[in-house]
Structure 1
Amino acid sequence: MASDRRRLAVLGSPIAHSKSPALHRAAYDLLGLDWEYTAIELDGAGLRAFLDTRDASWRGLSLTMPLKQDVLPLLDEVDELATLTNAANTVLLADGVRRGFNTDVGGIVRALGEAGCDRIRHGVLVGGGATAASALAAMAELGAASVQVLLRRPGAGGSVAELGARLGLAVEVRPIADLATLEEADLVVSTLPGGADPGVEASAALRRATLFDVAYAPWPTRLVSQWLEAGGTVVHGLEMLLHQAVLQVRIFASGDPFQALPDEAAVLDVMRRSL
């Protein structure tokens, strides 16, 4: 692999708290790549000018919301998952071409698979936050036939239901209060922002499902506490961050999210320890 100095960054606002620099630097150090990865404060208004002024030393970008959506019209190519979810969290800059990818879906699938949840039939999605579309796509990839989406404002669930239809899922949008009465699920994914309290206790039956909470600060969230009190299985939100970052490193290193890194198990381990 090439050892020339390249530049990368995670963009967003606020961004100072981001764990991405630690994750990526650990990976590039192990891979022997003399690459610089920083965090840059940037909002949507400045995104076009930022992209237009990158020189050939720039290899790629990681994006937080709302830049994942703001960037789409500024890209030359967009992968299937980014098109489907209307969000690109990764931009590869190569040969004057801007290519957008969504590694959040793969990050969720890989995190759940590592926890032993690699096949589901029925899922529950709590919240319609920034990661909801990626979570729904991940459930479809895991084989779900149906997903119940629980929202504070069920009337705002049209876009989620539409995505579900495109994914071949039977999606039912219900009020978040129904968390207390649901009886069946293989997987519950919470995309509530910042670990917000859903305001209701999950039913005892539902807590037998695996819970994946994408929030990781503060931890544990209220939902996670409910699952732990019941002795349920919980997948930490940092696992998604970790696994989607591994896919980003693949993209930045080779241009291909499906091409494994040299000794990827060791790369994953050093990235996990950086957290």
Structure 2
Amino acid sequence: MNGVTRTDGDRRCRAAVLGSPIAHSLSPVLHGAAYGELGLAGWSYDRFEVDETTLPAFLEKLGPEWAGLSLTMPLKRAVIPLLDEIGETASSVEAVNTVVFTEDGRRTGDNTDIPGIVAALRERGIEQVDSAAILGAGATASSALAALARICTGEVVVYVRSAARAAEMRQWGERLDIEVRTADWADAERALTAPLVIATTPAGATDALASSVPGRPATLFDVLYEPWPTDLAARWSAYGGAVVSGLDLLVHQAVLQVEQMTGRAPAPLDAMRTAGEKALAAR
């Protein structure tokens, strides 16, 4: 999906992240760092506490100075009926995390989480895997599965806590045209021998698995970034395995958002990552 080319430095342009809760979001730090590096002195990026019930009214009051929005939970699906168009990537998982306002006032939705996962893995040299495991089956797991549909040539095993979640993930596999097998969370330690493990669970959910990390682990992608490192990621690193963090994902998806909203590419990945690391260290 093409970005907006509002690049007049003398014109103030606005963007923001919406969600609930939102106070913890690092997005203003990342986007602000990008604006500084790109010389977009007239741009601002804020955060607003918005939930499903207040989202329609929030969108309606936005003026022509707005270039785009980042969306976090619980808005990624709630926003879809309010948009004029959504891209193929967002449609594939029924989740929008990026809204760009075109010059003619149209609202277009995209999902930068999926290519962000792919880009974060590629940065660590992971271009393709022959199998993978996903820990968890929430909203992030569907994005992880969509990313794996691009780079995994074989089976993906998803470890879940309920039969309903297992059925959901198998349905996503059929929709995304990727081979999915589900397994019970009680057997999750078996996931740790996969060539690529993607942990999509909340803080603390994988702590008990840390003691089961194999002696020579492959690659772990843990989507959390705070607290960091997780027990699982710390043990994984200690045993010499490659670890991709939630901050890596956050930065890579934000890079794509900045490019779409500003029309400037490439966005400054290194500066954005450094700003994010400093902000987390200061918390």
**3-state SS of the aligned residue for 2:203?**
helix
Deviation string, structure 1 residues 93-120 (Cα, Å, up to 9, x no partner): 1221000000000111111111111111
How many Å apart are 1:207 and its aligned residue? 5.9
The residue that corresponds to 2:3 in the other structure is none
Asked if residue 236 in structure 1 is aligned to residue 256 in structure 2, the reply is: no
| 150-159 vs 47-56, which moves further | 150-159
CA distance in 1 between partners of 2:44 and 2:203 (Å): 29
The residue that corresponds to 2:260 in the other structure is 251
Asked if residue 5 in structure 1 is aligned to residue 12 in structure 2, the reply is: yes
Asked if residue 208 in structure 1 is aligned to residue 222 in structure 2, the reply is: no
**3-state SS of the aligned residue for 1:208?**
coil
In structure 2, what residue type is equivalent to 1:80?
A: E
CA distance in 1 between partners of 2:43 and 2:273 (Å): 19
From 64, 78, 85, give the equivalent of 2:72. Answer: 64
Q: Which has the higher contact order (CA 8 A, sep 6+)?
A: 2
How many Å apart are 1:203 and its aligned residue? 4.6
Where do 1:110-149 residues align within 5 Å?
110-149=119-158
Where do 1:139-178 residues align within 5 Å?
139-178=148-187
The residue that corresponds to 1:186 in the other structure is 195
CA distance in 1 between partners of 2:241 and 2:37 (Å): 35
| Count of matched residue positions in the alignment of Structure 1 and Structure 2 | 267
How many Å apart are 1:166 and its aligned residue? 2.0
In structure 1, what residue type is equivalent to 2:16?
A: A
CA distance in 1 between partners of 2:216 and 2:138 (Å): 22
CA distance in 1 between partners of 2:192 and 2:224 (Å): 24
Q: Quick check: 2:52–2:75 contact (8 Å CA) kept in 1?
A: yes
Which ranges of structure 2 fall in alignment gaps of 5 or more residues?
1-6, 277-283
CA distance in 2 between partners of 1:130 and 1:189 (Å): 13
CA distance in 2 between partners of 1:183 and 1:99 (Å): 39
The residue that corresponds to 2:281 in the other structure is none
Aligned residues: CA RMSD: 1.8
Q: Percent identity?
A: 48
How many Å apart are 1:208 and its aligned residue? 1.9
**3-state SS of the aligned residue for 1:105?**
helix
How many Å apart are 1:17 and its aligned residue? 1.2
Q: Quick check: 1:123–1:146 contact (8 Å CA) kept in 2?
A: yes
Q: Quick check: 1:146–1:171 contact (8 Å CA) kept in 2?
A: yes
CA distance in 2 between partners of 1:272 and 1:138 (Å): 21
Q: Quick check: 1:196–1:221 contact (8 Å CA) kept in 2?
A: no
In structure 2, what residue type is equivalent to 1:261?
A: A
In structure 2, what residue type is equivalent to 1:86?
A: E
CA distance in 2 between partners of 1:183 and 1:249 (Å): 34
The residue that corresponds to 1:53 in the other structure is 61
**3-state SS of the aligned residue for 1:91?**
strand
CA 1:261–1:86: 2 relative to 1, 3 Å: same
How many Å apart are 1:205 and its aligned residue? 4.7
How many Å apart are 1:202 and its aligned residue? 6.8
Which ranges of structure 1 fall in alignment gaps of 5 or more residues?
255-259
